[in-house]
Amino acid sequence: MQEKLIQAFGGLLDSTVAAAPKVVVGILLAVLAFVVAKVVETLLRRSLTRMHFDDLMTKAGIGDALKRLGVRQPLSGVLPRLVYFLILLVLARTAGDALGLDAISGAIGAFFAYLPNVFAALILLLLGSAMGQFVGEAVRNSAESAGIDFAPALGKLISGAILFVCAMMAIGQLKIDTEIVRVVTTLVLGGAALAFGLSFGLGTRDIIRNITAGFYARKVLSMGKPLEIAGQRGTLRAITATHLVLEHEGQETSVANATLLDHVAKQ
């Protein structure tokens, strides 16, 4: 029993002595990682502050895009912090290799391999947000100039549509399956199109009826001659797209073209 205990403790001591250099190297790398990361973060933050980086991003529209995505802090503080953590991860992977921690090293390596997809998704979201705002403002201004009452809502709709498309592209960059989102989006858009078609068709039914009646009225009725229809009398002065214009004793009266289909006209 005594010999076995001596052998066990001897093996433990040998393992400890053999692992000591790796542990020392790992500790030194960890300390170095924190020091280097902190120095780089400080220098980068000072450089961005001197460059007025936040003002440049605001003028480019990226600052507003980040705020819409939920990033409230200035980029001069966010970017140095991201660089700080990236340096820590790089040196952590080096320490993992030195200590023989293959699982940790492999996980960090996989993260760095996936990192370009994350950056691509963020860029797509930023560009989509900035482009959506620009196009939405342009559409809103054009609609307001044309006298459209729902110009702000139309601008927001266009802006949201552009942002949604860019968000779908960003999700694709992250290697996330978007099939369910596509199906739901197709159903929603299909339902909205059907509802719009029905409401437009039912709402403009009378207008289309008047336009059709006016087409035949131009062939049947003669301009400048007296006309009596639906209790209205006067000289026919004009046939517009939707109405007949009658003049009687210096006053003009409008009669819907569809009245020709429901009443007897005398000319």
Phi, psi for residue 171 in degrees, rounded to 5: -60, -40
- Cβ–Cβ < 8 Å for 170, 121: yes
Q: What is the pLDDT of residue 10?
A: 52
Q: What is the pLDDT of residue 200?
A: 57
pLDDT tens track of the chain, all 267 residues? 555 555 555 555 555 555 556 666 667 777 777 888 888 888 888 888 888 777 777 776 666 666 666 666 777 777 888 888 888 887 777 777 766 677 777 777 787 788 788 888 888 877 777 788 888 888 888 877 766 667 788 788 888 888 888 888 888 777 776 676 677 777 777 776 777 666 656 666 777 788 888 888 888 888 888 888 888 888 888 888 788 888 888 788 888 888 887 877 787
Per-residue DSSP letters for 23-47? Answer: HHHHHHHHHHHHHHHHHHHHHHHHH
- Cβ–Cβ < 8 Å for 234, 253: yes
Q: Identify the CA nearest to 92 among candidates 44, 40, 38, 37.
A: 37
Give the pairing of strands 265-266 and 232-239.
unpaired
The H or E element spanning position 1 is none
Question: Which residue do the tokens 């779908």 mark?
Answer: 168
Per-residue DSSP letters for 158-192? Answer: HHHHHHHHHHHHHHHHTT---HHHHHHHHHHHHHH
The string of pLDDT tens digits covering residues 55-64 is 777 776 666 6
Q: What is the pLDDT of residue 215?
A: 81
Beta bridge partners of 16: none
Q: What is the pLDDT of residue 131?
A: 82
The string of pLDDT tens digits covering residues 134-167 is 888 888 888 777 666 677 887 888 888 888 888 8
Q: How is residue 2 written in tokens?
A: 């005594």
- Cβ–Cβ < 8 Å for 256, 243: yes
Q: What is the pLDDT of residue 14?
A: 53
